[in-house]
Amino acid sequence: MKHLPSSKRIAIAGQVLRFSLSEQGSPTIVLLGGSGSALETWHKLYPDIEELGTVLAYDRAGVGGSSRAREAQLGTTVVLQLRALLRESGARPPFLLVGHAFGGLHANLFARLYPEETCGVLFLEATAPDDVLHLKRRRSWLQRAAAGLLDRVSPLDPDDEVSNEEETVAEIAEAPDFPPVPVTVLSGARRLPRWIVSRAAAQERARNQDGLARLSPLGERVLATRSAHFPQSSEPQLVLDSLAALARRARR
């Protein structure tokens, strides 16, 4: 992780957030990690990603070096905190959003609420709204057992983003239409064993990934053939190449 830029902390309406900012020009690439993922999860993209523009990565409330959530982390709450962080840190639009896993919900909502500031979106193994609404019924017995054990051993904070995921999905449904900006959906092609993820769940999630690409008339789908859920770790060059191509499309 030696190439990661140093991080700072800033208070946004009483919520302390840790972030890093590398300023190299336009666009501003905003890295939105998965649930519980600190900014270090992006380390394999550095330093090359800094050649593509200004890069901001941060820990959402309750994650990594940021303080515990002070209020329920609905999608709009997270997006407003992010927009304030962008403003206070000096990061300027246009923003090219990179949403990994759960961070894809926030990228989806941000683009709808602030289309004039969004020049493109990279959905990276991203959670789609329909994943939240329907995939739980497709969980394997192992997933159900693991979830039940975690709920007993380490109950979720009622204010964290996962506890409020259905409200976030409802906010996306009620938000304006997704803007016609360039979109790349980068999905891991490697599948976990069927006793972990059923065939039906894998097929439904693939359909939902296609749905993300159809959000924009400028959407496309790319498969990371050697990756499962973390292409930024297993195929960082593919992520960088996809991001560079998306930035070129956004400039056009």
2 is a domain residue: no
**Which pLDDT does position 146 carry in this prediction?**
59
87 is a domain residue: yes
56 is a domain residue: yes
Contact in structure between 141 and 164 (CB atoms under 8 Å): no
88 is a domain residue: yes
**Which pLDDT does position 168 carry in this prediction?**
98
How many C-beta atoms surround the C-beta of residue 218 within 10 A?
16
221 vs 173: CA distance, rounded Å = 22
Q: Output the domain CATH number for residue 180.
A: 3.40.50.1820
**Which pLDDT does position 252 carry in this prediction?**
83
Residue 217 has pLDDT above 90, yes or no: yes
232 is a domain residue: yes
**Which pLDDT does position 86 carry in this prediction?**
98
48 is a domain residue: yes
**Mean pLDDT over all residues of the chain?**
92
pLDDT one-digit tens code per residue, 142-170: 566 555 655 666 667 899 999 999 999 99
Confidence of residue 139 (pLDDT cuts 50, 70, 90): low
Rg of the chain over Cα atoms, rounded to whole angstroms, equals 17
Range of the domain at 98: 8-251
- What mean pLDDT comes out for the span 19-42? 96
Sequence letter at residue 250:
A
Residue 138 has pLDDT above 70, yes or no: no
28 is a domain residue: yes
pLDDT one-digit tens code per residue, 63-87: 999 999 999 999 999 999 999 999 9
**Which pLDDT does position 70 carry in this prediction?**
93
Residue 100 has pLDDT above 60, yes or no: yes
148 vs 142: CA distance, rounded Å = 10
How many C-beta atoms surround the C-beta of residue 45 within 10 A?
24
1 is a domain residue: no
Detail the DSSP E strand segments found in the chain.
8-12, 15-22, 28-32, 54-58, 95-100, 118-124, 183-188, 219-224
Q: What is the pTM of this model?
A: 0.93
Q: Count CA atoms within 13 Å of residue 208 on its CB side.
A: 22
Number of domains in the chain: 1
